[in-house]
Chains A and B, each alone.
Chain A
Amino acid sequence: MHAKLPLRWTIFGCCGLIVTLTTGCASWIELKATADSSQEPNVRAIARNEQVPLVMDSISNTRNGSPQNLSLETEQRLLGTLREIGLFSHLGGIDSAEPPAGEKFIRARLLFDEDIDQHAGDKAWKSIVIGASMFILTPFIPLDYDYAAHVTLELERWDGQIKRYESQSAGTAHYQLFSTTPLMIDELKGHVTESCLTALMQQMVHDTTFYTASSAPILDRPIHSVSVKSKRSKLTPVPISTSSGK
């Protein structure tokens, strides 16, 4: 009787450990579907002699509203996606030189706005509960990490005309303590970014003709129209009285 008791507890303990380690390692990513990111963009390659180069002019990256350092990875991903749709003859990064004046090319400006909610307070409390339970509650306490991106791509044609494209996507990583890895967060960010870029490219391919070399003539001096609103002065006449002193 006494010999069976430790054996029973050993079996219970082993089962508990196996359940904790297997279910405590689960993770999954939930991507909130956006309306226009469900399908791959149609590749509308245009004739080679009609293609013009695209050069990155600026990349702005903000995270939860505060400016961040320039992300070369984001630039590379954007250029890679642009390469896939085959609208441009050459893709230049932010460091590459602009084509000489008098040559047709597209200037691109990217604004990448990230919104991260890592549920830090929630995690602190959950950590205390998990620790206090000696990790037994690990399988029953999921942890979350929310990531959303809003991407704005502005393309300026050689004649000064600008097209602006916007897309946004969001996702959540649900995971248990033992499956927490930096890779999982990178994976979530990768999925969301991909979704945003796909949506952007879908919008862009609808404007294929806008980017062809024959779509607009090159201007020697690009027209910059400046509207100036004149402020009408409302002066009230002041009666002037003159008096002859003498």
Chain B
Amino acid sequence: MQSQALAVILLATITLCAPIPISYAGENAPRPTIGTQEIGLSAGYLLPDCLRAKCKTKQSGPAFMPSWMMTMTDPIGDSWYQGQFSLGAEAVYIEFQEPYLTHGVGFTPKIKYTFVAQDRIRPYAEFAGGPFWTDLGGKIPEQHSQFNFILTAGLGISYFLTEQAALNVGYRFQHISNAGTSHPNVGLNSSLPFAGFSFYF
């Protein structure tokens, strides 16, 4: 089931990116400046990541994350860590297929640091957090509340096909809990490998 979902996500990414002309080779490196905006769509498959003994729920399912980012700085630093800060927001939709077919929707402001020392391949680190509603809450022992928060920390790599389009792959660690607003508050931890694409303008 999981492998089927991953295959669908991968196929969708390839299909959506197929029309992008790869005319980049030999040209100048993309140089997003202050104010350059980025819209993107990522998709992945959520896998349970139990860190505590209390954790019983093995939640899993596909996740979709449309995002918007704004480049805040020109490249800073002059070594391997040379990079740019971006600030933006991301919506997240998760369809929990296990343990029950339920849904989750969230909105998270997001900050990203992209390493720009390489030309076309650009690693990045990102952090996001915000409110998250899910009807999985109340059906599992860890969470009784449907109103939660989602925190995300991830690493990824952008591969620029053109100056304005990039493919992204990466890994995210996600934590869903209610921040003590109700009891119990054990929290759900997940791993989320993902792939997607971004357009810069």
Say yes or no: A177-B87 contact (C-beta < 8 A), given A134-B109, A185-B35.
yes
Chain A residues, Cβ within 8 Å of B129: 132
Interface core residue of A131, A134, A183, A185 (most chain B CB under 10 Å): A131
- Which of chain A's residues have a CB closer than 8 A to the CB of B130? 134
- Known contacts: A128-B111, A131-B110. The answer to whether A123 contacts B33 by CB under 8 A is no
| Interface size band for A | 20 to 34
Q: Give the contact stretch, choosing among B68-76, B156-164, B171-179, B182-190.
A: B68-76
Quick one: which of A118, A127, A145, A177 has the most chain B CB within 10 A? A127
Given known pairs A120-B73, A120-B85, A123-B73, the reply for A180 and B35 (CB within 8 Å) is: yes
Binary contact readout B109-141 vs A (1 if CB under 8 angstroms, 0 otherwise)? 111000000000000000001100000000000
| Residues in A whose Cβ lies below 8 Å from that of B109 | 130-132, 134-135
- Asked if B34 and A180 sit within 8 Å, CB to CB, the answer is yes
**Cα distance A184–B35 in the bound complex, in angstroms:** 9
A143 to B34, CA, bound (A): 11
In the complex, the answer to whether B33 meets A180 with C-beta atoms within 8 Å is: no
* Identity of the chain A residue whose Cβ is nearest the Cβ of B84 in the assembled complex: A120
Ordered nearest first, which 3 A-B pairs have the shortest CB separation? A131-B109, A127-B87, A181-B35
Residue ranges of A at the interface with B (Cβ–Cβ < 8 Å)? 116, 118, 120, 123-124, 127-128, 130-132, 134-135, 143, 145, 177, 180-185
B residues bordering A, Cβ < 8 Å? 33-36, 70-74, 76, 85, 87, 89, 107, 109-111, 129-130
